[in-house]
Amino acid sequence: MINEQLIIELIKDNNKDKALTMLYEELAPQMLALVFRYVGDEEVSKDIAQDVFIKVYDSFGKFEYRGLGKMVAWIKRICINMSLNYLKSYHVLNVELSDTIEESGIEDNESDIELLYDINLEDLTRLIANLPEGYRTILNLYAIEGYSHKEIATLLEIKEGSSASQYHKAKALLKRRILEWTKREK
């Protein structure tokens, strides 16, 4: 757990290095997991997460401190932006309805719904990481980060309808993969 009071005191005492070291030690695993959810590659995720903290260190003086929650949100936003920039720069992210997955055969029956609760967080993270990049990105932005489809459309420079369509397809594909995984594990 982050010792918010100590970090506040370090910032007020102008001890940037120690405050940032504490933030890094506390937040690095969480931010690495966040980057991995978008990128889906462990080595690339480590590189991006490291770059995130370098950027935080370089930009720390420009950040107007208004509470640790705001600072964590700021660092999280940097993680998301750097992950999206990586996906865009390597032409990995192609959202415009290029990934077509059949949604048929996915129904909400009670026995399948119960299987969804049998998966642990680590396995769920791996299944999300193995989704096609467009699906994974929009699923993360919409379902996990809470962005609206309009905000996602602006971020990714796509149509709002494409975001909604990709999200529904991602959700259906993820559900199918979870059900396959849980049936295989039983």
How many beta carbons lie within 10 A of that of residue 163, not counting itself?
26
* Residue closest to 147 by CA, chosen among 130, 170, 133, 164: 164
CA 82, distance to chain mean position in Å, is: 11
CA neighbor of 92 nearest in space, from 48, 27, 28: 48
Separation between Cα atoms, residue 73 and residue 50, nearest integer Å: 17
User: Which pLDDT tens digit goes with each residue over 9-51?
Assistant: 787 787 878 888 888 898 999 999 999 989 988 999 999 999 9
For residues 82 and 51, give the distance between their C-alpha atoms in angstroms, rounded to a whole number: 8
Q: Say which DSSP state 1 is in.
A: -
Instruction: Please give the domain boundaries of the chain with CATH numbers for all domains.
Output: 4-89 (1.10.1740.10), 110-185 (1.10.10)
Question: Which residue in 174, 133, 152, 123 sits closest to 38, CA to CA?
Answer: 133
State whether residue 43 is helix, strand or coil. helix
- The tens digit of pLDDT for each residue in 81-127 reads 999 999 888 765 555 444 444 443 444 454 455 555 667 888 888 88
Check whether 58 has a pLDDT greater than 60: yes
